[in-house]
Structure 1
Amino acid sequence: MQRKDNQLLVVTHLSQLLDYVTGFGGLIVPLILWLCNKESVINMDDHGKAILNFQLSILIYSLLSIPLIIFLGLGILTLILIAIIAFVFPIVNAIKVSNGEEIYYPFSLQIIK
């Protein structure tokens, strides 16, 4: 039987910010929370997939902007923009979850379906 746990969903969204504190963990912790709770918490499966797709997309976009630093000089601006997006949207979506609203992560590639 599944239970409703918006607090855990909020924590899962905010756990992405571990990248800014520890340098890693923004992908690992949400993955663990999703895998451990996707069967027992309502909407955890959908939220977990959205978070992981967003984090993997951010990783891909960051890796793609590294050559832009060398060749075009635009890579630094691109990385700054990626960092802002990766910081703001987990917070926005955590607030949305706590208010019972739908989440949205822009620029997410649908890697995990």
Structure 2
Amino acid sequence: MNQPMYSMSSEERTFGMLCHLLAFSGFIVPFGTIVGPLVMWLMKKDRSQFVNDQGRESLNFQISCVIYAIVAGVLTLVFIGVLLLIALGIFWIVFVIIGSIRANEGKLYRYPMTIRFIK
């Protein structure tokens, strides 16, 4: 579903993009991968349907990735977890960047392999 939702302002596109990009705050702040998108989504979800949609999508993806990382972390006991953690890290970075670009274009973006916790 990468189609433009409707005509929107550049501010809406920017905040939609930030819902995705703020996941990188996890490199600075503990749990920032979830807290960053959560704060942006909670601040702007009532003002824009686009930001509401992209914020939920980003949060669902971040929560899913945390779960996948925990499972891979447990699997490090049998070494395959190390490979899974590396693959998950690359997967996470690539798809957060893609989601940010699509949101900045004003397109609805859906992450692959995402569990939809927040509807």
User: Could you state the TM-score of these two structures normalised by the residue count of structure 2?
Assistant: 0.84
Matching residue of 1:20: 27
Deviation, structure 1 residue 101: 2.4
Return the alpha-carbon distance in structure 2 between the equivalents of residues 13 and 101 of structure 1. Answer: 13
Pairwise CA RMSD of aligned residues?
A: 1.5
Return the alpha-carbon distance in structure 2 between the equivalents of residues 64 and 35 of structure 1. Answer: 28
Aligned length: 110
Residue 6 in 1 paired to residue 17 in 2? Answer: no
Return the alpha-carbon distance in structure 2 between the equivalents of residues 101 and 60 of structure 1. Answer: 27
Query: Which 4+ runs in 1 deviate beyond 6 A?
Result: none
Q: Which has the higher contact order (CA 8 A, sep 6+)?
A: 2
Residue 96 in 1 paired to residue 102 in 2? Answer: yes
Q: Deviations over 1:43-84 (max 9, x none)?
A: 1111111111100000000001112111x2100010011111
Return the alpha-carbon distance in structure 2 between the equivalents of residues 65 and 100 of structure 1. Answer: 34
| Structure 1 runs not aligned, ≥5 long | none
User: Could you state the TM-score of these two structures normalised by the residue count of structure 1?
Assistant: 0.88
Q: Give 1:80-91 correspondences, 5 Å limit.
A: 80-91=86-97
| Structure 2 runs not aligned, ≥5 long | 1-7
Deviation larger for 49-58 or 100-109: 100-109
